[in-house]
Amino acid sequence: MFVPSLAWRDSRKARRRLLLYVAAMALGVAALVAVRSFGANLQAALGEQARAVFGADLQVWNWGRFHEGNEALVDSVVAAYGAEVAREVTTSSMALFPESGGTRLVQIRALRGDFPFYGEIQTTPDSAAAVYQARGEALADAALLLQYDAEVGDSIRIGQRTYRIAGRLDGITGQTDVEALVGPRVYLPLDALDPGLLGFGARYTTSAYFRLPEGVDADSVLAEIRPRLTAMDLRGATVSEMEGDWGDALGDLTRFLELVGFVALLLGGLGVASAISVYVRQKAETVATLRCLGATAGQTLRIYTLQTAVMGLLGALLGAALGVAVQQALPRVLGPFLPVEVATRLVWEPVLVGVGVGVAVALLFALLPLVRVRRIPPLRAIRADAEARGFDVWPWLLGAVLLAGVGYFARVQTGDPRAVWAFPLGVLVAFGVLALAAKLVQALVRLLVPRRAPYVWRQGLANLYRPGNQTLVLLLTLGLGTFLLTTLGLVERTLLAPIALPAEEGARPDLVLFDIQSDQREAVRALVREHGLPVLEEAPIVPMRLTAINGRSTEEIRMDTTAPQPTWALTRQYRSTYRGRTVETEQVTAGRFVGRVPADTAVVPVSVELDLANDLAVGLGDRLTWEVAGRAVETAVASLRRVDWARVQPNFFVVFPEGPLDDAPQFGILMTRAGSPERSAALQRAAVERFPNVSAVDVSLVLGLVEGILDRVAFVLQFMALFSVGTGLVVLAGAVRIARLQRIEEGVLLRTLGASRGQVRRILVAEYLFLGLLAALTGIALAAAAGWGLARFVFETPFVVAWGWVAATLLAVPALTIIVGLAGSRGLLARPPLDVLRAEVG
C-alpha cells in the first residue's frame, strides 16, 4: 500500500495543474471514439438498409440497349426463379420548362415496373409515385422545380415529348445530397420516353431489376448466370456486392478520419509530456527526500507513473463520453455523402478501444520525462544543482516503442504495410521541423533582439528562451494544428484553380453543346452565330470498343486472372476523336504525334493517354484493335500523352489522325463562350427547341457544383482538424497554467520594481504574439511543402497558393494564442505584489 497511498497524498497539490492536460487527452480520445462509433453505426446501417438503397435483389445492366439475347436472359431468370422484374433506362438530356423557358441538363430515369421494390420514392403529392407511369407523366426533383419556378401540374419537355409534372421528388432512398448536386433527377415512364434520346451516339444504360422470392439467394443466382452475362458483355450486381462496395468506400473514409483524430491524440500526448516534464522538475526535491528516507528509484517511479496513469484514465474516460456526444453531430456533417440514414447508438467496442489507446498514449508520452525520476540523486534534497550523470537508454527505448505504436495504428487504419514506417516518419519530420524552428527562433531572439527596442517587447521576447519556457511544446501543438488546416485550404484551392473560369471575355469556353449529329453541324454552328457567340472549338466523336491487344482478344484477357489490365479499360465504350494537332490540355511524353494519314492505312498510328496506357500495359509500337461501327480497325501506339482532365476542354483517351475515321459514324461537340447566364440560357433554350437531341452543359454551373462538393469535403476534414486545433489551444492554456508559479514570481518582481499592470500585460501579449506568429509561419511553411507535394505527385496539377487562407491563418493563430494566454494569466495581473508575497511566504 506504500506506493498507492503516497501517490494519492503527493498528488493533492498537483491535481488542478494536471487537469488541463487531462482535457488535452480527452479531445484526442473524443475524436477517435466519435469516428469509430460513427463507423460502427454506419456499418450497421448499411446492413439494415442495403436492400432499400439498392432497390432490388439483383441487377443486370449494360451500356446501351438490350438486344434479343439479353432479353431472353432476363426472361429466363423470371421463369426459372419466379422473379419479378422492372426495367430502367438512365440517360442525360436537356429539360425545357415551357412556362418559364428555363432549360437544364437533367438525369433521366425512365422506368417500367414497380421499382424500387424496396425503399421508396418520396413525392408530393404522396400518390404521384404510384400513378405517374400509368398516366405517362413525370416526377421532377424539388430543387429543379424551385429553380425554374415550376409547380406540380406544369409541363416539362424532354426530347420531343412534353409531360405533365405529376409530382415533386422530395427524396429517394439511397440518393445522397452530393448526387443531387451533380444533376437533378427526372423520373419518366419508359414506355413514354422519346426514342430519339436513345439514338446513335447517345450515352445511356439499360437495366433489369429483379425481386426474388423469399429463400432464393441473389448471389447464387448471379453466380449461375454470370458466364452468360460475360458472354453477352452484361454486368450484374447484388445487394451483398453493393453493400460490400459501399462498406469499403465508407470504411476508407472513417479510417482516414480516425487518422486525423489520432493526430489530435498525439498532440494531447505532447501536452502530457510537457506537463509531466515540468511536474518532474517541481517534484525533484520531493523525490530526493523520499530517496533519503529509504525509497528506491523504482518505487518513486511507480508513484508518479501511477498518478499519470490515473490522470490518463480520467482523460480517456472524459474523452470517451465526449466522443459519444460528438458522434451525434457526425451524421449531419457526413450526411451529404452517405446513402443511408445513420442512427447514433452507443457501441461499446469503439469506446473501449478509444479509452485503451488514450491511456496507452498518455502513459508512453508521460514515461519519456518520468524516467528521469529514477536518476534524481538523494543529494538533490540539500543541493539544487545535484544531477545524475551518464547516458540513460530508457528515454530512447520508450521513444522507439512510441513510434512503433504509431506505425502499428497507422497500419491498422490504412491497411497499407508502408504506413508502418511512412506515418511515423511523417510525424517525425513534422515534429522535427517544428522543433528545429523553435530552437532556431530561441537562438535568434537571444542574439538579434535590438537593445533599443521597447522594454516590454524585449522582456516578452526574452520569455521565449527563459528557463522553464514552453516554446517548444506550444509550437509543436499549435504549429501542427495550423499545418493541418492550412494544408486543407491550399489543396482545395489547388484543385479548384485549374477548372475555374477566367474573368476576361473571350478566354475559355463556358458552354458545351454535345450529341450533335453529322447532318446538324452546320445548323448548330449557324444557331450559335445567330446569338452573337463564337465557335471556339469543335470535335468529332466516334464511338468504338477495344477488341484486342497485340492480337489477344479482350475477352481472353478478362478471363485471365493473372492479367494486370483493369476490367473498366477492357469493357468500356470509348468515345475517341481524330484531329491533326495536339491541344493545350495535353503534352506528348513519348513518341511522335501523327496528325494525318491516308484513309486506307492498314495500321493507323494513334496517340494514347498515359494513364490508360499504363492500365492496359501497352507502350509505343503495341497494337490495339478497335471495333468501329462493326468494322475492325488495327492501330499502333505512336505516342503517349499526359492529359490535364481538369481543364475545360474536350479531352480523349485515344486520338486518331485525320483520314481513317473521317467517314465513320460519328457525332460532335461544340464549345462557345456565352459570357453571361442570360446569353447562355437563351442559346440553350433555342438549341432545345430546334434540336431536341442536342444537350448543353453550362460549364460555370458544373464548376459551381464541383466547388460545392469540394467545399463539403473540405468541411468534413476541417471539422476533424479542429480537434487538433482545440487540443493545441488546451495545451496552450495548460502551459500557461503549469508555469503560473514562475509567472507569479516574475510578475511580483516586475511590479515591485515599479512596472504597471498594463506593462506586465503587454509583456505577456508580446510573448504570445510571437509564439502565435511563429506557429502560424511554421505551420504555413509545412502546409506549403505538403500542398506542393500533393499537387505534384498525387493530383498532378500545378500548385496554387490560397492567399486568403494564408492571410486568415496569420491573423487567427496569433490572435487565439494571445486570447488564451491572457485568459490564463488574468488572476496573476489582478493581485497586488504584497498579497502575492505574503501568500508565497505563507
Q: What DSSP letter does each residue of 701-758 carry, written as one string?
A: HHHHHHHHHHHHHHHHHHHHHHHHHHHHHHHHHHHHHHTHHHHHHHHHHHHHTT--HH
**In the listed set 386, 409, 433, which residue is the last one of a domain according to the structure?**
386
pLDDT score, position 1: 45
- With a cut of 90, say whether residue 14 has pLDDT above it: no
What is the arithmetic mean of pLDDT over 287-300? Answer: 73
How large is the angle between the packed helices 757-789 and 740-752, nearest 10 degrees?
A: 140
Three-class SS state of 270: helix
Measured between its terminal Cα atoms, the distance across the chain in Å is 32
What is the arithmetic mean of pLDDT over 698-720? Answer: 68
What is the arithmetic mean of pLDDT over 141-161? Answer: 86
For residues 388 and 628, what is the distance between their CA atoms, to the nearest angstrom? 83
Biggest CA pair distance of the chain: 105
Report which of 86, 85, 94, 90 is spatially closest to residue 63, judged by C-alpha positions: 90
Is 717 inside a domain boundary?
A: yes
pLDDT digits (tens, 9 = 90+) for 782-837: 888 888 887 777 666 778 887 887 888 888 888 888 887 777 666 555 556 555 55
pLDDT digits (tens, 9 = 90+) for 634-660: 999 999 999 877 666 788 999 999 999
| 479 shares a domain with 355 | no
Higher pLDDT, 280 or 538: 538
What is the arithmetic mean of pLDDT over 702-707? Answer: 66
What is the arithmetic mean of pLDDT over 41-56? Answer: 76
Which range has highest mean pLDDT (290-304, 540-554, 768-782, 797-811)? 540-554
pLDDT digits (tens, 9 = 90+) for 311-350: 788 888 888 888 888 887 777 766 666 666 777 778 888 8
pLDDT score, position 836: 52
pLDDT score, position 555: 82
pLDDT score, position 690: 85
Is 225 inside a domain boundary?
A: no
Is 395 inside a domain boundary?
A: no
pLDDT band at 606 (very low <50, low <70, confident <90, very high): very high
| 708 shares a domain with 691 | no
pLDDT score, position 634: 95
| 113 shares a domain with 141 | yes
Chain mean pLDDT for the chain: 78
pLDDT score, position 174: 59
pLDDT band at 568 (very low <50, low <70, confident <90, very high): confident
Is 192 inside a domain boundary?
A: yes
Q: What DSSP letter does each residue of 454-509 carry, written as one string?
A: -HHHHHHHHTTTSTT--HHHHHHHHHHHHHHHHHHHHHHHHHHGGGSPPSSTTSS-
- With a cut of 50, say whether residue 54 has pLDDT above it: yes
Higher pLDDT, 4 or 661: 661
| 492 shares a domain with 572 | no
- With a cut of 60, say whether residue 173 has pLDDT above it: yes
| 378 shares a domain with 249 | yes
| 490 shares a domain with 356 | no
**In the listed set 650, 684, 699, which residue is the last one of a domain according to the structure?**
699
Parent domain of 297: 1-54+239-386
Q: How many domains does the chain have?
A: 4
Among 109-118, 466-475, 477-486, 808-817, which is the least confidently predicted range? 466-475
pLDDT band at 507 (very low <50, low <70, confident <90, very high): low
For residues 107 and 683, what is the distance between their CA atoms, to the nearest angstrom? 20
pLDDT score, position 200: 67
| 482 shares a domain with 558 | no
Is 201 inside a domain boundary?
A: yes
| 717 shares a domain with 668 | no
| Cβ atoms 91, 202 nearer than 8 A | yes
- With a cut of 70, say whether residue 479 has pLDDT above it: yes
Looking up cell 418520396 gives 122
pLDDT band at 576 (very low <50, low <70, confident <90, very high): very high
Residues 6+ apart with CB under 8 A from 380: 284, 285, 287, 288, 386, 387
For residues 275 and 737, what is the distance between their CA atoms, to the nearest angstrom? 10
- 355: buried, middle or exposed (CB in 10 Å: 19+, 13-18, 0-12)? buried
Among 91-95, 97-101, 561-565, which is the least confidently predicted range? 561-565
What is the arithmetic mean of pLDDT over 112-130? Answer: 86
Give bridge partners of residue 59 from the DSSP assignment.
209, 237
Q: How far is CA 523 from CA 241, 527, 690, 692, in A?
A: 47, 6, 10, 13
For residues 43 and 246, what is the distance between their CA atoms, to the nearest angstrom? 9
Higher pLDDT, 570 or 823: 570
**In the listed set 183, 215, 247, which residue is the last one of a domain according to the structure?**
215
For residues 491 and 145, what is the distance between their CA atoms, to the nearest angstrom? 35
| 714 shares a domain with 789 | yes
Among 61-75, 216-230, 272-286, 630-644, which is the least confidently predicted range? 272-286
pLDDT band at 840 (very low <50, low <70, confident <90, very high): very low
- How many residues are recorded in the chain? 842
For residues 324 and 463, what is the distance between their CA atoms, to the nearest angstrom? 40
Looking up cell 527562433 gives 441
pLDDT band at 253 (very low <50, low <70, confident <90, very high): low
Higher pLDDT, 104 or 507: 104
| 327 shares a domain with 196 | no
- With a cut of 50, say whether residue 707 has pLDDT above it: yes
Higher pLDDT, 165 or 741: 165
Is 825 inside a domain boundary?
A: yes
| 349 shares a domain with 322 | yes
For residues 51 and 212, what is the distance between their CA atoms, to the nearest angstrom? 12
- With a cut of 60, say whether residue 399 has pLDDT above it: yes
- With a cut of 50, say whether residue 537 has pLDDT above it: yes
Identify residue 192 by its one-letter amino acid code: A
pLDDT score, position 180: 58
| 665 shares a domain with 521 | yes
pLDDT score, position 716: 67
pLDDT digits (tens, 9 = 90+) for 425-465: 877 787 787 788 778 877 777 777 677 777 777 777 777 77
Report which of 169, 224, 144, 229 is spatially closest to residue 701, judged by C-alpha positions: 144
- With a cut of 50, say whether residue 90 has pLDDT above it: yes
Give bridge partners of residue 573 from the DSSP assignment.
545
Is 415 inside a domain boundary?
A: no
pLDDT score, position 593: 95
| Cβ atoms 88, 190 nearer than 8 A | yes
pLDDT digits (tens, 9 = 90+) for 359-375: 888 888 888 887 877 77
pLDDT band at 622 (very low <50, low <70, confident <90, very high): very high
pLDDT digits (tens, 9 = 90+) for 224-235: 888 888 778 788
Which range has highest mean pLDDT (65-74, 494-503, 794-803)? 65-74
Identify residue 649 by its one-letter amino acid code: Q
What is the arithmetic mean of pLDDT over 456-479? Answer: 72
Is 406 inside a domain boundary?
A: no
